Chains A and B, each alone.
Chain A
């Protein structure tokens, strides 16, 4: 029965993974919705550049993103140095940095899903809401956002799953510190580097698959239910 009990290392890694992925999604969701809205609805100079930057993590090697984050946000980095001196916040080599790395890597997936759902919202419905006495902000929260719900849900789950699996940017930016930044993929990597680690590696591998499956099933069920709610 030992098989079903998690070792302290596994438990730490699992808890940390869920914690980091949860925060990554929570942080990137409002920013992602705003970005999607800018890209889908607003015309402004430099839009193509913003679009490029948003999608960069999708095409760049994760290690490059991690290295960029380290340069910008490390204690000696341009932004990171200022953050440390003025606010006492350190991102590098802490779980907060792992959150940021995961959020950046998952961001394009989130924005794509949200943007797609926004583009499917009929502006005519928003105009109708205006004539019914709702101001632009109220229209957004009572008409636009609810109609985007399926896309937001899909985007959130995709981003969550992507964050759980984040490896390259995380290990480069915040290293592999047990209990602080050692998420499941990093723990798996560590086990493959030590002698007799195969058994532990396999266990983490199975654990990862289980979590991914559960996330996907929840995502499918929820988005089907939300879509049915809107259409029925």
Chain B
């Protein structure tokens, strides 16, 4: 269970957020751009420090302004898949994948290299450099890299935004598998109802820096007409 309760001011923008994400499945942060989705994810990862509040995973406190706790990103054990992948250009795909794994103490490791590589279908890419990969391949490697740190939670910030319809369809099943296969809780940022319907088990709706609603995806989006596949064909 991820608990987030923070307030933060950035220029003109006020963020006042409180929500909980269940310990299993994919929780989606949904909202228009400028709603504060990325800021929240960065705060959970430790890349952005909230002005005030509390962030915890289960009983493990990551940030608490009152107690003066603020774990640095490298101590949080949270995997982060960025919108642009952010693979290290000077390292091979294999070295990218193992970068975080080698820095995870053995007693914390519960995710196996070969298993991830097989699940994401990237074994034929291991010797290559990121510059030579397609967008979909890059995102799969980025997901694998984050996963291999054996995190307690995986953050995904619009990981499909830079991909076209066909590439999206290529990556979505992997993300779906991964939550189930490793029973890894995922916090998934998106503004695409189609993606959320395909992936999420729980939705938190944000608007202008506040949580306005939450529930199952079906309460917010009509899952049937038009079907996801049709919309995809229509260039969704």
Q: Which residues of A contact B (CB under 8 A)?
A: 122, 124-125, 127-135, 138, 142-143, 146-147, 149, 229-232
Contact = CB atoms under 8 A, between A and B. Distances in A.
A124 B82 contact: yes
Interface stretch (B56-64, B86-94, B111-119, B175-183): B86-94
Interface residues of B, number: 27
A133 B149 contact: yes
B72 A230 contact: no
B152 to A, nearest CB: 13
B89 A133 contact: no
A194 to B, nearest CB: 53
A122 B76 CA distance: 22
Given A124-B82, A230-B90, A130 B74 contact: yes
Interface of B: 45-47, 72-74, 76-80, 82, 84, 86, 88-90, 99-100, 103-104, 129, 131-132, 145-146, 149
A230 B89 contact: yes
6 contacts: A130-B73, A132-B100, A132-B145, A132-B149, A133-B100, A135-B72
Contact of A146 (B45, B73, B90): B90
Contacts of B78: 131
B103 A133 contact: yes
Main secondary structure of the interface of A (DSSP, over half): helix
Nearest to A143: B88
B131 A127 contact: no
B189 to A, nearest CB: 15
B74 A128 contact: no
Nearest to A126: B86
Contacts of B72: 130, 135
B80 A134 contact: no
Contacts of A232: 129, 131-132
Contacts of B131: 231-232
Contacts of A146: 90
Nearest to B85: A128
A130 B90 contact: no
A122 B130 CA distance: 15
B47 A127 contact: yes
| Residue among B46, B78, B100, B132 with the highest chain A CB neighbour number at 10 A | B100
